[in-house]
Amino acid sequence: MAKSAINEMRDMEIKNAHKGDVAGRNVTILEEGSLNGDLGAQSVVIKGIVKGIVRATKIIVRSTAKVQGELRYKTLIVDPGARFEAKCVPS
């Protein structure tokens, strides 16, 4: 598992296990990916596992996702079937 902070204002896909904070422009956590840390971006798509605080203008939680923590957003979309245990804080 990678343990580090990623701060790059570009589009990113996380396809492995990552422990640490992530900041980017458009970030996708792929089905085989996981993030244990905080995530900040303009747009976030979660297909894998996220544990932490997610801050984004738009967050999409797909049916394959498992989310624990807190979501801060302007727009939130949660697909049926997503496993979702998070505090939701609209901005």
Is 50 domain-assigned? Answer: yes
Is 82 strand, coil or helix?
A: coil
Domain count for the chain, please give it: 1
The predicted pLDDT at position 7 comes to 55
Is 36 domain-assigned? Answer: yes
pTM for this model (two decimals): 0.91
Is 42 domain-assigned? Answer: yes
Reported confidence tier of residue 5, pLDDT bands at 50, 70, 90: low
Q: How far is CA 56 from CA 2, 3, 9, 82, in A?
A: 23, 22, 13, 18
Is 6 domain-assigned? Answer: no
Query: Has residue 6 got a pLDDT over 90?
Result: no
Question: Exposure of 58 by Cβ count < 10 A (0-12 exposed, 13-18 middle, 19+ buried)?
Answer: middle
Structural domain that includes position 30: 12-90
The predicted pLDDT at position 9 comes to 66
- What 8-state DSSP symbol labels residue 64? T
Reported confidence tier of residue 25, pLDDT bands at 50, 70, 90: very high
The predicted pLDDT at position 91 comes to 87
Q: Encode pLDDT of 33-78 as tens digits.
A: 999 999 999 999 999 999 999 999 999 999 999 999 999 999 999 9
The predicted pLDDT at position 32 comes to 98
